[in-house]
Structures are given as structure tokens and as C-alpha cells.
Amino acid sequence: MPSYGKVRTAGAVCGIAAVVVALGLAVTPAEEPPAIEFVTPIHLQTVLGPAEIVLDVRVPPGLRADRVEIFVDDAPLVTLHDPPWRTTWDAGETGAGHSLEAILHLSNGTSVGAAVRTSRLRVTHFEEVALVNLYAVVRDAAGGYVTDLERDDFEVTENGRPQKIERFTSERKPLSVAIVLDNSLTMEGKKLERAQEAALKFLDVLEDGDEGMVVMFSDEVVVAQTLTPDRKRLEAAIATAKAKGGTALYDAVWKTSRRMEPLEGRRVLVLLSDGRDEASSGLEPGSLHTLNEALDRALRDEVIIFSIGIGKNLGSQPDFYGRRTLKSILDEMAKKTGGRALFASGPSKLKKAFEEVADDLRHMYSLAYVSDDTRHDGTWREIRLDTSDKRLVVYTRRGYFAPTEADMSASGSF
């Protein structure tokens, strides 16, 4: 699904929500039960961008607050142990609604909770500008990065028709990156250790305004750390990886892409795996989703996949059905989404593979054009991006799915 810019004349509030949390524990009469309430955000408030969550905690005499757990969209955000009962939160810029829950755990082992929901941004009027965003890496014949191109050096076509580039910059855009690690049993030992070391070093790519998340997959897909700018949290999540079970490769791509869909800026999925999608029993696939479904999801959610394959025989090792090699699968996921596939013959080569991904992310152009096809028909539209110098090679996504009327009415914006 492409990103659509909106010129809005709306009655909606688009400011940054500020949240103030109660300081200390309020002592209440003995007959009153313990309670926790959201001071901000208030129920059904529209919240955009950076905000604070503020809680009013009331504990009767004889008890104390052990901790307060806060969840956003059912995912853990933070655990607070002392007042003031406040924390920061990024509600994003898409205007999507969120569910927030706070649970107060008391010293006697009991707990009470509170929940609020923020509202989706509602726009009363807008003019639609269909901006299709592209992120591109350009290399010369020797494989070096080309970083001095201007808008007029690029040519873009959609389904063979020339399009006008409306926005262009070579300045760095904010990055949302998901590190997706295979922690199946085949990764046990040096493979997983080296993968963790390389992933930790890869975090150097994150700068101010960037965020990361950590996902692991074996028989199931686990979000070890939700999206955060906090490097220490990301490091701690990577360190928890333990080898076990089978390989739900396609489910990992599908679920991570879906989770990244609401995010702004560059959405990047860095995937590392050493094996085929297969259950631990070896008798069935490891995923509920197929390769095509996973790739379709990534393309619809505009996720750029950088795939890193580890092993000496990926070019000859077949998938579960014996139809394709693992190398060709990782290649396809990367190339169609605008990323790159890299292959490490052994654990010692993983650090270099992650470094190459980081280099690509540092050398991306950002372009956007207004499609001349205004239909909301959900069809696949092929994109070709070239430069006037035909000796150069451009890496970007190969197309996108047009929105449908249902998409437009459901979200109000893209």
C-alpha cells in the first residue's frame, strides 16, 4: 500500500499530547479500595507523536504499590516501581487509535487495573495527493555508492508510463528497523552467538529519531522488544535469544511486516536465517503463511527487506516442498521490496553482512511521485527507477499495490 500525503483542512486536533503523572502515593481513607486511573491521555482522545502517560495511583493505609505495568496495544511498554507514575510514549504520526492499560500491583499480592483507548484521527475534509514513496541505493559499475545525484538524474515509470518526481532528497530519513533473528535449533552454538554479536554492532546504524524492534522466530514468532529508540532495551532483547524448535520463516516476515505498517519513514526488516521454513518435526512447514503471502504482506506494508542467509549450501538446499533453493527465496524477498540479499558462508562472516546492510541504509535517496493512475482498484503497479547514466545500477522496490476504496474509507489517509 503506497503512502499518501494529505492536504487537510480538518477539525481534528493534531498536536503533541502532553501527559503529567501524579507524584507519590495518595493516601485514601481506609474504607476506599486501591485504584489507578489515567490522567492523560483521557478516553477517546486523539494523540499524535511524542506524549507522556500520566497515572493517578491511590493506595489505602497498610498497603504499598509494588509496581505499575503499562501496556500499549497489548504489548508491554514499561514497568514503573516508584513515583512519579509517568512515562513517555510515541503514539506515531498516522493518527491510528491505540489501547492503553495500566495494572497496579500491591504489596499484598492483589492488583487493580485501568484502561483507555485513544481515537483515530478523523479528518472532516481533505484533498488527496497520491504520493508513492521510493527509497533507492545507487551503485556504479565497480559496486561503489553514488551519492551526488540530483532529482533530474532520475527517471521513474509506473506500468511503463513516465511519472513526475515531486519530492527528492539525499538527506537521511528517519528509520524504523526490525531485527528478525532465526533462533531455531539449527542456529545453536556459534551461529547464534555470532548473529547476536553482529546484530548488536548493527545497532550503531540507529541515530536520533530512529527506532528499532527485535523479533525472534523458531516454532513461533516472538516480539522480544517492541519499537523503541532505547538501545539498551534492544541490546537486552537480542541477548535473550536461545536456540530451540523449528523455523517459522514466512510467519516471521508476515507478522513483522504487519506490525510495521502504521510506522512513518523508512520501514526496514533485517532478516537472518540459516534454514528452510520447516516445523521441528520435519514433517510439515514451519509457518501458517506461505512465501507468497509473506512477500505480499511486506509489499503492501512498504517494508524493505534485507535478508542475510548463513550457511554454505543455501544455493543448493531446497525448500520444504523441493521447489526452490533457500538462496532464491531470500533473494526474491529482498529484491522485490527494494533491499538486498547477503550470504555468509559461516558465523565469522555475519559481521560483514550486517555492516553492508548498515552501509546501504546510510546511502539511500528518497523520492516520491504522484501516480497518474488515480483508480483505487487494488492492482499491482510495476515501478522502474533508472538514472540518466545507464551504467549505474539502482536498487529500489519493484512496485506497489494500489489502495482500494475500502482502504480509503477505513483509514482516511495513506
Assess whether 51 and 197 both reside in one domain.
no
Q: Both 261 and 185 in a single domain?
A: yes
Q: 316 lies in a domain?
A: yes
41: preceding bond cis by omega (within 30 degrees): yes
Between CA 103 and CA 119 the distance in angstroms is 21
Rounded to 5 degrees, what are φ and ψ at 155? -130, 130
> Last residue of some domain: 322, 337, 362?
362
**By three-state DSSP, how is residue 69 classified?**
strand
- What separation in angstroms does the CA of 253 have from each of 135, 221, 267, 411? 20, 9, 13, 23
In a domain, 106, yes or no: yes
Q: Measure the CA–CA gap between 136 and 157, rounded to whole angstroms.
A: 14
Same-domain check for residues 228 and 347: yes
Final residue in a domain of this structure, among 117, 140, 163 = 117
Q: How many angstroms separate the CA atoms of 289 and 157, rounded? A: 32
Phi, psi of 38 (to 5 degrees): -80, 125
> What's the pLDDT score for residue 51?
87
Here the cell at position 376 is 483505487
174 neighbors 265 (Cβ within 8 angstroms): yes
Q: What is the pLDDT of residue 130?
A: 67
- Which domain CATH number covers 97? 2.60.40.10
Looking at residue 127, its pLDDT comes to 41
Write down the pLDDT at residue 119: 80
Place of cell 521454513: 277
How much is the pTM?
A: 0.68
Phi-psi group of 229: left, alpha or beta (phi > 0 → left; psi -120 to 50 → alpha; rest → beta) = alpha
Domain that holds residue 182: 175-362
- Looking at the fold, whether 264 and 396 belong to one and the same domain comes out as no
The predicted pLDDT at position 44 comes to 80
Bridge partners, residue 35, by sequence? 58
Same domain? For 164 and 200 the reply is no
Per the CB < 8 A criterion, the answer to whether 284 and 194 are in contact is no
C-alpha 64/C-alpha 108 separation (Å) is: 8
Q: Is residue 157 located within the same domain as residue 219?
A: no
Asked whether residue 80 falls in the same domain as residue 179, the answer is no
Q: Which of 342, 362, 382 represents a domain boundary (last residue)?
A: 362
Judge whether 235 lies within some domain. Answer: yes
Instruction: Examine residue 125 and state whether it is found in any structural domain, yes or no.
Output: no
164 and 187 in a single domain? The answer is: no
- Cα angle 98, 101, 106 (rounded to 5 degrees) comes to 170
- Rounded to the nearest 10 degrees, the angle between the axes of helix 291-300 and helix 249-260 is 20
- One pLDDT digit (tens) per residue for the chain, 414 residues: 444 333 333 333 333 333 333 334 444 344 578 999 999 998 888 888 888 999 999 999 999 999 999 999 989 999 999 999 999 998 887 667 898 999 999 999 988 899 888 887 654 433 444 689 999 999 999 999 999 999 999 999 999 999 999 999 998 888 999 999 999 999 999 999 999 999 999 999 999 889 999 999 999 999 999 999 999 999 999 999 999 999 999 999 999 999 999 888 899 999 999 989 999 999 999 999 999 999 999 999 999 999 999 988 888 989 998 989 999 999 999 999 999 999 998 899 999 999 999 999 999 999 999 999 988 888 999 999 999 999 999 999 999 998 877 665 544 333
Give 82: exposed, middle or buried? Use CB within 10 Å, 0-12, 13-18, 19+.
Answer: exposed
Residue 124 lies in a domain: no
pLDDT at residue 97 in the model:
83
Question: Dihedral, CA atoms, 141, 143, 147, 153, nearest 10 degrees?
Answer: 30
Domain assignment present for residue 122? The answer is no
User: How far, CA to CA in Å, does 19 sit from each of 12, 94, 119, 211?
Assistant: 19, 19, 16, 21
Domain identity same for 347 and 373: no
Residues 167 and 181 in one domain: no
- Report helix, strand or coil for 406: helix
Number of domains in the chain: 3
The enclosing domain of 160 has a CATH number of 2.60.40
Amino acid (one-letter) located at 176: S
pLDDT of residue 122: 56
Does residue 273 belong to any structural domain of this protein?
A: yes
* CB 14 within 8 Å of CB 121: yes
CATH of the domain at 238: 3.40.50.410
Q: How does DSSP classify residue 375?
A: -
Q: Is residue 123 part of a domain?
A: no
Q: Give the Cα separation of 266 and 271 in Å (integer).
A: 16
Indicate whether 294 and 159 sit together in one domain: no
My answer on whether 143 and 234 are in the same domain is no
